[in-house]
Amino acid sequence: MRILAINSSFRGSKGVSAFLIDKLFIGAIEKGAECETIHLAELQINHCIDCQLCQTPKHLLKCTFDEKDNASFVFRKMREADLIIFATPVYVLGMSSLLKTLFERFYSTAKVGEFHFTKSGMFFHHGDQSLTQKPFVPLVVYDNLETEMPKNIISYFKTYSKFTDAELVGTLIRKSAGMLDVSASPTSNHTISDSIFQAYVQAGRELVTQKKISKLTEKKANQPIIRLPFFVKPMLKLGIGKEQIEKGHARMMKSVMKRDKF
């Protein structure tokens, strides 16, 4: 089984996304998978400019940027993969523009004038199923502690799944990512970070053995690092303790800024 991770963090191999992909791959490799990560930040992927050349009979499904950038290289790797991890940090409430730019380049692989009815019951245009129909896992990381924060990205991938018929086989969401203790070990069980890393390794194993991540493993991988007591939000709404909480958050952010160790 070949697993391809497409990492769209601008911090490339030095970011939390890459760090978590590596944990996932420990389990997948243990179960015999071939694993590879592509860091989009290291490649050149031009924006689709809607020139429509790819939709003309003479130039059908050829992009004006073929051989001029790395999109076709990534598409080749996607076609060769059995499963894809789409890793993205939350950037201003949405996915990384690096990933969205790559997705927009799918346009040149689809006959957009040809109508198609998906298994999920959606009207859509023709698409290159060898590219877009791979089972996939979104891996979303962000620093905020609100569950609302990655909502747009998760919703995007659910819709992506419906229109492409690609099976969503797990969803990994790492909130408060800057608070992960990167020195934690997936082999011990002392901290929340240990337990999260163990869950990532287990998720990697399950992707190979069960072709999906179990709900239990997903829950462990997605567990919060900080659990706010239930009364904090009502207090804040009443204006009680606001200043202390904000100061505490500023202290926390200072430690987050030391993340260069990734």
Ligand X SMILES: Cc1cc2nc3c(=O)[nH]c(=O)nc-3n(C[C@H](O)[C@H](O)[C@H](O)COP(=O)(O)O)c2cc1C
Residues contributing to the site for ligand X (CB under 6 A): 9, 11, 15-17, 89-93, 141-144, 149, 177-178
Closest distance of CB 6 from ligand X, Å:
13
Nearer to ligand X, 41 or 110 (CB): 41
CB 119 within 8 A of CB 195: no
Name 141's bridge partners. 89, 174
Nearer to ligand X, 129 or 222 (CB): 222
Q: How far apart are the two ends of the chain, measured CA to CA in Å?
A: 28
Q: How far apart are CA 44 and CA 77, in angstroms?
A: 15
User: Exposed, middle or buried by CB within 10 Å (0-12, 13-18, 19+), for 141?
Assistant: buried
User: Exposed, middle or buried by CB within 10 Å (0-12, 13-18, 19+), for 79?
Assistant: middle
Nearer to ligand X, 92 or 250 (CB): 92
Closest distance of CB 16 from ligand X, Å:
4
Q: How far apart are CA 118 and CA 98, in angstroms?
A: 27
Nearer to ligand X, 16 or 28 (CB): 16
Name 87's bridge partners. 7, 139
Nearer to ligand X, 10 or 106 (CB): 10
Closest distance of CB 234 from ligand X, Å:
23
Closest distance of CB 121 from ligand X, Å:
33
What residue number has its CB nearest to ligand X? 15
Closest distance of CB 94 from ligand X, Å:
8
Q: How far apart are CA 62 and CA 66, in angstroms?
A: 7
